[in-house]
Amino acid sequence: MTTMRLQGEAALLSSVMSGDVATKVIALGIGNFLSEDELRGMASPPQNRTVIVVPDFGSLANIEEQLRGETCRGKQ
């Protein structure tokens, strides 16, 4: 979780992105005041599947299946 700017998360993200930690990072942006470039920088490849932007919290239900597919592959 980050709020518009990377701060303490930088060390964790660096570990994940360097491959030191076997983790897939999905960057979820909510609202209009965000940086899609920053989200792409945080997300694991391929960013077309791991960067998700919705206009508001009410829209999260619309991406439930997409999130389940990316986070729980084969575990439904």
pLDDT (tens digit, 9 = 90+) per residue, 46-72? 899 889 999 999 999 999 888 888 887
Look at residue 59 and tell me if it is in a domain: yes
Domain that holds residue 16: 9-71
pLDDT of res. 58: 93
C-beta separation of 53 from 27 below 8 A: no
10 vs 61: which has the higher pLDDT: 61
Look at residue 50 and tell me if it is in a domain: yes
Beta bridge partners of 52: 28
pLDDT of res. 76: 47
Q: Number of structural domains, the chain?
A: 1
CB contact set of 76 (below 8 Å; sequence gap of 6+)? 68
- Taking residues 42-48, report their average pLDDT: 88
Look at residue 3 and tell me if it is in a domain: no
pLDDT of res. 14: 66
